[in-house]
Amino acid sequence: MNTADQYLKTIYVVQDSEDGPASTGSIADSLGVSPASANEMIGKLEERGLAEHEKYKGVTLTDDGIVRARDALQTYCIIERFLANVLAVEDFQAEARELEAVIDDTVAERLDTIIDRQPECPDCFDPESDACACLEVAAAPVEPEQQ
């Protein structure tokens, strides 16, 4: 996932929680970057037809932006679920945030074949916990079922 995808995912989640355009401040806060950096990337997303920025209102994703944002969110959920349920990583949210930039969608798709993701993903994403609401965290790696 590249930096643009991380922004799209964040804008999507912020838009959803604010029930309207995402303010630049909220986007910058969520990503832990300066408002100036956020503005620069939002400009690039606008140029690519993925977002629209209206002064004093905020950022709204276009239809294309929404599709890419949902894909990015899904990739993030796959990484989280993989870390939590396969590698039994306790702080899977923090690690997923660190790793998402390095894990490509095609790699995530492969990891997806060994996890139990729910069909409603990524709509089940809960911004409060920064994780899938259906995710059950295993205390240890999941034991294989007897066949």
Partner 1 sequence: MSVSQRVASDDQLARLLQIGIVLEEVVEARTHRHYQQLDAELDEEVETLLADAAEESADHRERLEALIEGLGVDSVPFDEIESLVDARYGRTRPEDFDDVLYDQLCNEETAYKFYDDLIEAIEDSEATFSIDREELIATLTTIRDEEAEGVREVTEVMERR
Minimum distance from residue 54 beta carbon to partner 1 (Å) = 24
Q: How far is the CB of 56 from partner 1 (least distance, A)?
A: 25
Cβ distance to partner 1 smaller for residue 19 or 147: 147
By CB under 8 A, name the binding residues for partner 1.
Answer: 2-3, 6, 10, 30-33, 82-83, 86-89, 95, 97-99, 101-104, 106-107, 109-111, 113-114, 141-145, 147
| Nearest-approach distance from CB 142 to partner 1, in angstroms | 6
Q: Which of 40/57 has CB closer to partner 1?
A: 40
Cα dist. 138→22, 37, 44, 102, 130 in Å? 34, 37, 40, 24, 17
Query: For residues 56 and 102, which CB has a smaller minimum distance to partner 1 in the complex?
Result: 102
How far does CA 125 lie from the centroid of its chain?
9
What tokens does 123 get?
């709509």
